[in-house]
Amino acid sequence: MITEETIKEAVIRLADRFHLDRIILFGSYARGTADKHSDVDLLVICPVKKDRKKMAFEMDMALWGLCMARDIVLLTSKEFDADKEIPGTVARYAWKEGRLLYERKQ
């Protein structure tokens, strides 16, 4: 299983390298139901100023070397606020069951 320390290191790397608003852990690790086959699901809320796939790839590369299977989903604050009320969306799952791991200081 992936340790809490590894998840914290991932958050530190992402927060230090990118201009992020929030990072929310969702899925099995947030629910406390993760097993040895589980990955870490991170919703990253940030301004998306370039190609979303490229930005997600750059974030994934920032986590290189961490022994952590992961899915990184990018949304803008506006997208998150709109989607969190829609059942079945990633934003909804993150809003309902997620754990806030990082929030940029205003």
Q: 3-class DSSP state for residue 4?
A: helix
Taking a C-beta distance cutoff of 8 angstroms, is the pair 83, 1 a contact? no
Specify whether domain 4-103 bears CATH 3.30.460.10.
yes
Taking residues 2-16, what's their average pLDDT?
97
Q: What percent of the chain has pLDDT over 70?
A: 100
Is the pLDDT at 92 greater than 90? The verdict is yes
How does pLDDT run across 45-65, given as a tens digit for each residue? 999 877 899 999 999 999 999
Taking residues 77-103, what's their average pLDDT?
97
- What residue ranges do the domains of the chain occupy? 4-103
Is the pLDDT at 28 greater than 90? The verdict is yes
Q: What percent of the chain has pLDDT over 90?
A: 92
Is the pLDDT at 106 greater than 80? The verdict is no
How far is the C-alpha of 53 from the C-alpha of 73, rounded, in Å?
10
* Two tokens, residue 15: 């927060």
Taking residues 65-92, what's their average pLDDT?
96
42 bridge partner residues: 25, 72
Burial of 65 (0-12, 13-18, 19+ CB in 10 A): exposed
